[in-house]
Structure 1
Amino acid sequence: MRKLVYGMNLSLDGYIAAPGDDLGWSEPNDELFEFWLERELAIGVFLYGRRLWETMSSYWPTGDQQPGATPAQIEFARNWRDTPKVVFSSTIDKVDWNARLFTGDAVPEIARLKAEDGGPMRVGGATLAAAAMRAGLVDEFEIVTHPVLLGGGAPFFTALDSWVNLNLVETRTFPGGVTLNRYETKR
């Protein structure tokens, strides 16, 4: 059975994007980028909602060819292209870059994928992750908090139907006051 991980950069007040889907506040430093690269290299399948898919697929297919790309960014781009992806959306009709589109109910499909053998899966996008959380499918949360208040935008967590108890398994501090708290779901 695969592990399902939900983790992103978020503001101190809990948002993954500022109003207008602005992500400019979360530019990672080299150490943080290396952390994310290490985590992504361990992922067997990326699960994306439409908006995060559009953000990732607009840059990372050629991220290794951008002027000034660091060795870590080059490796991240190559890994992103090579890792299988499932995009959950009913509003787009085509995906590429080693991805397949799923237009049905996300929860049963995520549960089916989770029951397979293989490396961990990462769910990305607040709406898709919220559905997985409400269904009790998320096994681990990687919360990388930046010292900024956005006051609104897309929240990392959305309303749940019941409590989710967690075990803290890792903390880490990055330059600029950025912190990681990694939790596993108590089962």
Structure 2
Amino acid sequence: MRPLRYSINVTLDGCCHHEAGLPPDDESMSHWAAEMERADALVFGRVTYEMMQSVWRRPASGNWPDWMGQWQTPFAEAIDGARKHVISSTLTEVDWNAELLRGDLRKSIEELKQKPGAGLWVGGVTLPLALADLGLIDEYEFLVQPVLAGRGPTLLAGLRERVELELVDRHEFKSGVVALRFQPAPDHDRIQ
């Protein structure tokens, strides 16, 4: 069964707005490119899909925009080429190497997890909350930013039940960001 991995930047006070942390640098973009390449497919909700597509989809010209630094290109290429599954009840169609999934969330994700491969990756805020509530996330990675945001959406706000985690990996970046990777504790009762 393919694991479903969730990764997100989060400030010390729990804010997970995409602009709340430190600006990306070559080390963080290299990390995110590796995360994209470690997954067979990405799973997005509508908001994350539209946001990522607006920034990281290769233009029709085939050339990356002038604002993009060379250190961002590996991430852009990895996310642009990745297979994507979009969970949405409002979109009627998707492209960008994507498939629209509708209906029962648990069933859709369990079917994706049953397919052969190395893993699935989910990002964003709303969809991961629903997936955590269903006990479907197999690995959580938080890139803890040395920032106090003071406002904005907070990580997994509204989670119905506590999820006990065990630390499986830790990596410190030169910027002060600390990547913490967790898996649900083996004795944790998942919501079924």
Quick check: TM above 0.5?
yes
Q: Distance in 2 between matches of 1:149 and 1:142?
A: 19
Higher fraction of strand: 1
Q: Distance in 2 between matches of 1:175 and 1:5?
A: 24
Please tell me whether the aligned partners of residues 45 and 119 of structure 1 are also in contact (alpha carbons under 8 angstroms). Answer: no
Report the residue type matching 2:25 in the other structure: N
Aligned to 2:12: 12
Please tell me whether the aligned partners of residues 7 and 142 of structure 1 are also in contact (alpha carbons under 8 angstroms). Answer: yes
Deviations 1:106-128 (A, max 9, x none): 22211111122112101122111
Aligned to 1:28: 24
The 5-angstrom pairing of residues 26-175 of structure 1 reads: 26-62=22-58, 65-67=64-66, 69-175=68-174
RMSD of aligned alpha carbons: 1.9
Q: Which runs of 5+ in 2 are unaligned?
A: 187-192
Q: Secondary structure at the match of 1:34?
A: helix
Q: Which runs of 5+ in 1 are unaligned?
A: none
Deviation at 1:24, TM superposition (A): 5.8
* TM-score of the aligned structures, taking structure 1 as reference length: 0.89
* TM-score of the aligned structures, taking structure 2 as reference length: 0.87
Higher fraction of helix: 1
Deviation at 1:148, TM superposition (A): 1.5
Among all aligned residue pairs of Structure 1 and Structure 2, give the percentage whose two residues are the same amino acid: 34
Number of aligned residue pairs: 183
Deviation at 1:72, TM superposition (A): 4.1
Deviations 1:155-186 (A, max 9, x none): 22133333322121111211232111111122
Spell out structure 1 runs of 4+ moving beyond 6 A.
none
Aligned to 2:190: none
Q: Secondary structure at the match of 2:175?
A: helix
